[in-house]
């Protein structure tokens, strides 16, 4: 029987096998708060899952499943995407990075009525290069101050 650890979600008890988050963090070579954030389903840095899984002696896929985020099959673009230019491909990758950045720390989607639209992805991404998602959202909110977005029955 394993000892129950305070703050450890129940699905992790068996794989922790009585070890503390600090012990797992030390074995992984990371800070304990990164282990805590990962097992609680909060935002983490890329590569954290692999380090924690190795320290626990489990496959990384199992770590994601315990976290509540099973790994899906690799995402592949349709065949016609091969016709995209290098800059168009880079723009798509930046959109994906922006969507994934801090996704666990934010609500599931933008607040209703924000009216944020992506008209020209390549130009928009180039204009915002090096800025955080929070900076971009703050700027967009400032632009919308005083403008009434369409209601739910009015369409977009």
With beta carbons less than 8 A apart as the criterion, state whether 137 and 107 touch: no
Residue 154 confidence class, pLDDT cut points 50, 70, 90? low
Confidence label for 19 from pLDDT (cuts 50, 70 and 90): very high
What is the pLDDT averaged over residues 62-70?
A: 87
Res. 152: pLDDT tops 70: no
pLDDT value at residue 3: 53
d(CA 119, CA 121) in angstroms, rounded, equals 6
**pLDDT averaged over every residue in the chain:** 75
DSSP per position, 25-94: HHHHTS-HHHHHHHHTT----TTHHHHHHHHHTS-HHHHHHHHT-PPPPPP---GGGGGS-HHHHHHHHH
> What pTM does this model have?
0.47
Domain boundaries, the chain: 10-67, 79-144
- Euclidean distance between the first and final Cα of the chain, in Å? 57
Query: CATH second-level architecture of 10-67?
Result: Orthogonal Bundle (1.10)
Quick: pLDDT tens for 99-143: 877 665 444 444 444 444 444 454 555 566 667 766 766 666 666
Taking residues 37-62, report their average pLDDT: 88
Average pLDDT estimate for 142-154 = 58
Q: What is the mean pLDDT of residues 18-28?
A: 92
Average pLDDT for 1-27: 83
């Amino acid at each position: 029987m394993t000892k129950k650890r305070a703050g450890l979600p129940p699905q992790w008890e068996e794989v922790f096998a009585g070890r503390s988050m600090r012990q797992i963090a030390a074995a992984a070579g990371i800070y304990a708060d990164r282990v805590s954030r990962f097992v609680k389903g909060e935002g983490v840095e890329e590569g954290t899952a692999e380090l924690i899984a190795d320290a626990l002696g489990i496959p990384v896929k199992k770590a994601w499943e315990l976290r509540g985020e099973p790994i899906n099959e690799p995402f592949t673009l349709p065949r016609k995407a091969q016709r995209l230019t290098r800059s168009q491909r880079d723009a798509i990758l930046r959109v994906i990075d922006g969507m994934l950045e801090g996704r666990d720390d934010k609500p599931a989607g933008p607040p209703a009525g924000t009216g944020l639209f992506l008209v020209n992805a390549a130009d928009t991404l180039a204009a915002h290069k090096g800025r955080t998602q929070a900076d971009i959202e703050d700027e967009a909110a400032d632009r919308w101050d005083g403008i009434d977005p369409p209601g739910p029955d009015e369409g977009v």
